[in-house]
Homo-oligomer: A and B are copies of this chain.
């Protein structure tokens, strides 16, 4: 570790707040944490590489936000309460200004969820960010992928396809990710790509309600496919009920908007299954939180994801 790396770590450490269950934070060989009794630890790890998972020119504050958001989204999909985590940061050059801007985005989201950075590593290399995030969930209440039951409804939060729509605009040179789009609809899509909202509160509220859950990171068809495969069931999708934002439809047209919504990734909404007896409860949850929850299909015997009679399971290719 070079002296410059020590200095960078100090800048990050200065932004990390305390928490009662952090016995010892950054600065020793390891951090010491006090897990909750009666809970499981939920642990996820996701890496973002420049040029692969975000446009290379993305502003450091937006990278910071998204780096943590994709990991909190995985915890949300388990129904876990975010707790702590580590960050491995590879940077081409030791820049205090870059680190400070990155930390602005990263800790804005961390602090909002009382999530604490308790360790990590800074190395020189191509820009890459790996987070390992820990959450906690009461025994037996985690939302797994393998619990979907025949007859369950399929639900999804928010709207889908916005991030993929923005990404396509960027790929065509029609969107600058580093400054506001002017046009309000495009700006909405840009924010959905750069600053996804992990559905942490929804995930916790779905304990005891959802039978299975996944976050929509690879695309609805792909991620619903994970639930179907792991649960040993088939998912019937009602394409016409898949929620698409007015903004996406306005910018991309209805047909492309729907394609983005079923195939595009990076929205970080939650897709979950639940017994039809839960419909009123889920509707009230939506009313209470102001977050749209759409019933988009149902689970039946069989395998794969089907839509309007077509088997889509083998047909999709992931974006990215």
A309 at the interface (CB under 8 A from B): no
Q: Considering the chains assembled together, what is the distance between the CA atoms of A214 and B30 in angstroms?
A: 10
Chain A residues within 8 Å of chain B by Cβ, number: 62
Knowing A80-B30, A126-B125, A142-B24, the reply to whether A41 touches B35 (Cβ < 8 A) is: yes
Knowing A40-B32, A47-B121, A88-B47, the reply to whether A1 touches B318 (Cβ < 8 A) is: yes
Q: Considering the chains assembled together, what is the distance between the CA atoms of A90 and B24 in angstroms?
A: 30
Q: Considering the chains assembled together, what is the distance between the CA atoms of A217 and B67 in angstroms?
A: 28
Looking at the assembled complex, report how far the CB atom of A57 sits from the nearest CB atom of chain B, in whole angstroms: 18
Cβ–Cβ contact A31 & B3, under 8 A = no
Residues 178-190 of chain A, each 1 if its beta carbon lies under 8 Å from chain B, else 0: 0000000000000
Stretch at the interface among A106-114, A127-135, A168-176, A239-247: A127-135
Looking at the assembled complex, report how far the CB atom of A257 sits from the nearest CB atom of chain B, in whole angstroms: 24
**Which of chain B's residues have a CB closer than 8 A to the CB of A120?**
45
Q: Considering the chains assembled together, what is the distance between the CA atoms of A49 and B123 in angstroms?
A: 8
Copies assembled: 2
Q: Which of A35-88 contact B (CB under 8 A)?
A: 35, 37, 40-47, 49, 52-53, 74-75, 77-78, 80, 84, 86-88
Chain B residue nearest to A214 (CB atoms) is: B29
Cβ–Cβ contact A43 & B118, under 8 A = yes
A144 at the interface (CB under 8 A from B): yes
Q: Which of B2, B28, B46 contacts A318 (CB 8 A)?
A: B2
Looking at the assembled complex, report how far the CB atom of A265 sits from the nearest CB atom of chain B, in whole angstroms: 9
Cβ–Cβ contact A2 & B320, under 8 A = yes
Looking at the assembled complex, report how far the CB atom of A123 sits from the nearest CB atom of chain B, in whole angstroms: 5
Binding site for B on A (CB under 8 A): 1-3, 23-24, 27-35, 37, 40-47, 49, 52-53, 74-75, 77-78, 80, 84, 86-88, 90, 118-121, 123-126, 128, 130, 132, 134-135, 137, 142, 144-146, 213-215, 218, 230, 317-318, 320
**23 A-B pairs with C-beta separation under 8 A:** A3-B317, A24-B144, A27-B145, A29-B75, A29-B215, A30-B42, A30-B75, A30-B78, A32-B78, A32-B137, A32-B142, A34-B40, A35-B35, A43-B119, A45-B88, A45-B119, A47-B90, A47-B121, A49-B123, A49-B125, A53-B123, A88-B88, A126-B126
